[in-house]
A and B are shown apart, each in its own frame.
Chain A
Amino acid sequence: MMQTLDRIFILLRDWLVHFLPSAWRAPAGTVLSVIAIIGLFPALFALTTVLERKGLGRMQNRLGPNRTGPLGILQPVADGIKALTKEDVVPFRADAIVHFLAPLLLVVVVFMGFAVLPMGRNMVLVDMDAGLLFFFAMGASTELSIFMAGWSSRNKYSLLGAMRAVAQMISYEIVLLLSSVAVVMTAGSLSLTKIVEAQNTYSFGLPHWYIFTPWGLLAFAMYAIAAMAETNRTPFDLPEGESELVAGYFTEYSGFKFALFFLGEYLGMFSISGLGTTLFLGGWSAPFSFLGWVPSWIWFFSKVMLSICVFIWLRGTLPRLRQDQLMNFAWKFVLPITLFNLLVTAIWRFLGPGWPRWFVCTALVVGIYVVMGETGMRRGKFGPRSYRYAE
Chain B
Amino acid sequence: MHAETSFALQGAASTIAQWLWLIPAVPIVASGVAALLKRPQRKLSSTLAIGALGFSLILSLVAFFHVLSQWSAGAPTREVVNFPWIQVGSALVDLGWVLDPLSAVMMVMVSFVGLLIFIYSTGYMEHDENYTRFFCFLSLFAGAMLGVVISNSLLLLFMCWELVGFTSYLLIGFWYQKPSAAAAAKKAFVTTRVGDIFFLLGMVWLFAQTGTLLFYNSGAGSMESSALQGLLAQPAALGLTAAGAIGLLIFAGAAGKSGQLPLHVWLPDAMEGPTPVSALIHAATMVAAGVYLVARVYPLMQGGALTGGSTPALTVVTWVGASTALFAALIAVAQDDIKRILAYSTVSQLGYMMAGLGVGGVAVGMFHLITHAFFKALLFMGAGSVIHGCHEEQDIRKMGGLKHAMPVTFATYGAGMLALTGVPIFAGFWSKDGILEAAQHWSVAETPFYLLVLGALLTAFYMTRQVSYVFFGHYRGHGHAHESPRVMTTPLAILAFFAVLLGFVGTPAWPWFQSFLDSRAAGVDFARLGEAGLLMVSSSLIVFAGIGLGWWLYGSKSPEASAPDVLEKSAPALWHLLRDKFYIDELYSATVVAFFWAFARVADWFDRRIWGGIVAAVTWLFSAWARFNRFLDARGVDGAFDKGCEELSNGGGMLANVQSGQVQAYLRLLAAVVVVLAAILLWSSRA
Residues of chain A at the chain B interface (Cβ within 8 Å): 349-354, 356-357
Contact = CB atoms under 8 A, between A and B. Distances in A.
B3 A349 contact: yes
Contacts of A350: 1, 3, 6
A356 B19 contact: yes
B6 to A, nearest CB: 5
Contacts of A356: 19
Interface string B335-362: 0000000000000000000000000000
B646 interface: no
12 contacts: A349-B3, A350-B1, A350-B3, A350-B6, A351-B3, A351-B6, A352-B2, A352-B3, A352-B4, A353-B3, A356-B19, A357-B3
Interface in B1-40: 1-4, 6, 15, 19
Contacts of B19: 356
Closest 6 CB pairs of A and B: A352-B3, A350-B6, A351-B3, A352-B4, A350-B3, A352-B6
A350 B2 CA distance: 7
Chain A interface main SS type? helix
A60 to B, nearest CB: 46
A276 B15 CA distance: 36
Nearest to B4: A352
Contacts of A349: 3
A352 B1 CA distance: 10
Interface of B: 1-4, 6, 15, 19
A364 B387 CA distance: 43
A352 B4 CA distance: 6
Nearest to B15: A354
A357 B3 CA distance: 11
B58 to A, nearest CB: 13
Contacts of B3: 349-353, 357
A349 B4 CA distance: 10
A379 B326 CA distance: 63
A352 B3 CA distance: 4
Nearest to B5: A352
Contacts of B4: 352
Contacts of B1: 350
A252 B1 CA distance: 54
A367 to B, nearest CB: 11
A213 B168 CA distance: 43
Nearest to A355: B15
Nearest to A348: B3
Contacts of A352: 2-4, 6
Given A350-B1, A352-B6, A357-B3, 11 more contacts: A349-B3, A350-B3, A350-B6, A351-B3, A351-B6, A352-B2, A352-B3, A352-B4, A353-B3, A354-B15, A356-B19
A349 B19 CA distance: 17
A357 B4 CA distance: 13
A351 B1 CA distance: 11
A311 to B, nearest CB: 37
Nearest to B2: A352
A349 B1 CA distance: 9
Nearest to B7: A352
A175 to B, nearest CB: 27
B8 to A, nearest CB: 14
Nearest to A357: B3
Contacts of A353: 3
A353 B3 CA distance: 8
Nearest to A350: B6
A358 to B, nearest CB: 13
A101 to B, nearest CB: 32
Nearest to A351: B3
A343 to B, nearest CB: 15
A354 B2 CA distance: 14
A137 B6 CA distance: 35
A351 B18 CA distance: 12
A11 B6 CA distance: 46
A3 B4 CA distance: 37
A356 B2 CA distance: 16
A352 B2 CA distance: 7
Contacts of A357: 3
B227 to A, nearest CB: 33
A133 B413 CA distance: 72
Nearest to B19: A356
B36 to A, nearest CB: 12
Nearest to B22: A356
A101 B481 CA distance: 91
Contacts of B6: 350-352
A348 to B, nearest CB: 9
B41 to A, nearest CB: 13
B528 to A, nearest CB: 45
A84 B537 CA distance: 112
Nearest to A353: B3
A63 B4 CA distance: 59
A356 B4 CA distance: 14
B142 to A, nearest CB: 21
Nearest to B1: A350
Which of B1, B3, B6, B15 has most chain A Cβ within 10 Å?
B3
A354 B7 CA distance: 14
A169 to B, nearest CB: 33
Contacts of A354: 15
A326 to B, nearest CB: 28
Contacts of B15: 354
